[in-house]
Chain A
Amino acid sequence: GEMRLSVAAAISHGRVFRRLGLGPRSRLDLLRNLVTALVRHERIEAPWARADEMRGYAERLIDYAKLGDTNERAMRMADFWLTEKDLIHKLFKVLAPRFQPHPGSYTRLLQIPNRDGLDRAKMAVIELKGNP
C-alpha cells in the first residue's frame, strides 16, 4: 500500500469572503444587522472576523450614500442594508455630509481583550470616525 505522506491543507486559493453563519444569505443578514447597529450607535463591539467583513460593506454603503438621496440605486442599497428605516434618514442627512471631505476610510477597527464567556473569542471595536 501507499501512505499519504503530506497532510491535506485547507487552502482557500484567493477567496476574499469569510464563511459566516449558515450560508451566503445568513452571512449577509448577520453583516446587515451589524451595519445597522454601527449606523445607530457609531461604535460597536463584535467578534473580530465579523467586524472585519462588516467594515468593507459599511464603507461602501457610505460611498453609496455620498451619491445622494435622489439616486435610485443608493436608496435601494440603503433600504436593503439598514433594517431600521429611521437610520436611512440618518445615513443620508448626517453621515454622508460628515464624510464628504474624506475620500476613503471612514471606520476604525481596534482589537480588545478576548471575550469573557466560555468561547474566549477574539473581539474588536469598530467605530465611525468623528463620532461624538
Chain B
Amino acid sequence: FSCSACRASSDEKPGKFQPPPKPVIIDKLKQIEERRFLSPEFIPPRGRTDPLKFFIERKDMIQRRKVFNIPEFYVGSILAVTTADLYAKDKVNRFVGICIQRGGKGLGATFVLRNVIENQGVEICYELYNPRIQAIEVLKLEKRLDDNLMYLRDALPEYSTFDVNMKPETRLDHEEIPINKLQVRMKPKPWSKRWERPKYNIKGIKFELPEKVMKEAQKWSQPWLEFDMLREYDTSKIEEKIWKEVNEGLKK
C-alpha cells in the first residue's frame, strides 16, 4: 500500500496531501442506541408501595449484574443455565430449555425453562438473581407471538424438545430479534387451561377445533376491557428514568 498511488489518482500538486475521506460510522451508533432492552423485572409494578424499596432493589440488581452477566433474552428463546449443585458429580448442573414465561419483579424475578428429556416434560423455574447460578447462555435468541408459552404443556411434545448439546447460535446483526411466527399444534382436547378463550389472547396456536367451539369461546370475551382507560399502565417515562439509572450504575 503506497502513497504514490493516491497522489497519482488525485491529480493535484505533488506536495499537497489530501487526507482520505472519513468513513461514515454515525449510522451504526444510532442503530445500536435505538434498540434498547430493559429487562422487564426492573419496571416496578403499579401499586402503593414506597419507591424507595424499588430503588434499593435496583441497586442490588445492578450490583449483581456487574459481577455476573445476565444476557438479554425473551420468552421463546432457548437458554442453557448452569447452577451449583452440591450432590451432582461435577458440582454443576446444566439445563437447556425454552423460556416459557418471565415472572416477578425486582430481585425475585424468575424465568421458567421447559424441555422434554427422555419423553418426560420438565419445567424448571430459575431465579435470575440467584447466587447459585454460575452461567446463563443464550443458545438461540428469538421472540414468539405470545408473552406466555404455557400452552406448550398441551402441545405436541415435538414443539418442546430441544437438543441438550445444542451449539449457541451467533447473531451477526445487532438489531431486529427475529419473531418466530410458529403456529403450534395441540394434543386432543382436555387441556390444562382453555386456551381458545379470548382471556389468554393466544396467537401462536393453530386451533383445529370446530367453528362451534370457537364461537362458544367468544362468549367469554369482554370487549369493554380494551376501553377501560384506568387499567392501562403507561411505562414509557418510568422506563426512560430506569434505563438511565441502570446504565449509569453499570458503567461505574
Contact = CB atoms under 8 A, between A and B. Distances in A.
Contact of B229 (A14, A16, A25, A61): A61
Interface in B201-252: 222, 224, 227-230
Given A14-B47, A14-B48, A28 B230 contact: no
Chain A residues touching B, majority SS = helix
A80 B230 contact: no
Given A14-B47, A14-B48, A25 B230 contact: no
Interface string A42-82: 00000000000000110011001000000000001100110
A64 B228 CA distance: 13
Interface in A1-52: 14, 16-17, 24-25, 28
Contacts of B48: 14
B230 A16 contact: yes
Given A14-B47, A14-B48, A24 B227 contact: no
Contacts of A56: 229-230
Contact count band on B: under 10
Contact count band on A: 10 to 19
B230 A57 contact: yes
Nearest to B225: A24
Contacts of B228: 28
A132 to B, nearest CB: 27
Nearest to A58: B229
Given A14-B47, A14-B48, A24 B222 contact: yes
Q: By CB atoms of chain A within 10 A, which of B47, B222, B224 has the most? A: B224
Given A14-B47, A14-B48, A28 B229 contact: no
Interface of A: 14, 16-17, 24-25, 28, 56-57, 60-61, 64, 76-77, 80-81
24 contacts: A14-B47, A14-B48, A16-B230, A17-B230, A24-B222, A24-B224, A25-B222, A25-B224, A28-B224, A28-B227, A28-B228, A56-B229, A56-B230, A57-B229, A57-B230, A60-B229, A60-B230, A61-B229, A64-B229, A76-B227, A77-B227, A77-B229, A80-B227, A81-B227
